[in-house]
Chains A and B, each alone.
Chain A
Amino acid sequence: EPEVTQTPSHQVTQMGQEVILRCVPISNHLYFYWYRQILGQKVEFLVSFYNNEISEKSEIFDDQFSVERPDGSNFTLKIRSTKLEDSAMYFCASSVVSGRYNEQFFGPGTRLTVL
């Protein structure tokens, strides 16, 4: 069964360093998403992406964050200069179409630890 994959499963970095989190969405899906969950808090929407551009982004998704789909299969989230408060579980999701009935398929997440 097709699934969304994410690498790495755990990333440890020093404050101020750049990190790139990678996701491989399901191959025929067209909409891509990043969410994050800070320990003990809610899963929060970061950004959605369609047709090679950002569809929507949350207030969390500031200039330190960027997304791209560099090669038609990977979908990446870059954090340019990590802060302690960026420590969280980051989930990638994809869906074949959009709309209120549509299911988003999630990856297993990348745990980011910023020291």
Chain B
Amino acid sequence: GNSVTQMEGPVTLSEEAFLTINCTYTATGYPSLFWYVQYPGEGLQLLLKATKADDKGSNKGFEATYRKETTSFHLEKGSVQVSDSAVYFCALSEGGQGGSEKLVFGKGTKLTVNP
């Protein structure tokens, strides 16, 4: 079945450092790809998404490009802030029965940004 692999954490950076969190996927079709973020005590929030090859999703300074040739969707940010400390989840959507669209997630990567 479809699966998502993302880099193991935790990741600890200093403020203004460059961030990359790697994510690769295995899929039989053409899934949509997502990054979700979970801040402490909160639910999963959609950070960005890309629905087809070469699409770039971006939000709040984060970017990720859907690379079909390398089956990757790496998350990047040029200058992280303390407020970016959270757990980041890479996910793909695969077609569900009856019109639902379930998500397949990676394990999550905990990011801590120090002042």
Contact = CB atoms under 8 A, between A and B. Distances in A.
Interface of A: 3-4, 6, 31, 33, 35, 37, 40-45, 48-50, 55-56, 91, 93, 95, 98-109
Given A56-B96, A56-B102, A103 B49 contact: yes
Contact of A55 (B51, B93, B96, B103): B96
Contacts of A105: 43, 46
Main secondary structure of the interface of B (DSSP, over half): strand
Contacts of A102: 101
A100 B42 contact: no
A30 B44 CA distance: 19
A55 B41 contact: no
Interface in B43-64: 43-46, 49, 51
Contacts of A91: 43-44
10 contacts: A6-B43, A35-B103, A35-B105, A42-B108, A43-B89, A43-B103, A48-B96, A50-B98, A56-B96, A100-B101
Contact of A104 (B41, B97, B103, B107): B103
B24 to A, nearest CB: 14
Contacts of A6: 43
B20 interface: no
B100 interface: yes
Contacts of A40: 107
Contacts of A103: 46, 49
B11 interface: no
A14 to B, nearest CB: 26
A55 B89 contact: no
A107 to B, nearest CB: 5
A98 B96 contact: yes
A15 B115 CA distance: 44
Nearest to B89: A43
Contacts of B106: 42
B43 A43 contact: no
Given A45-B102, A104-B103, A106-B44, A55 B49 contact: no
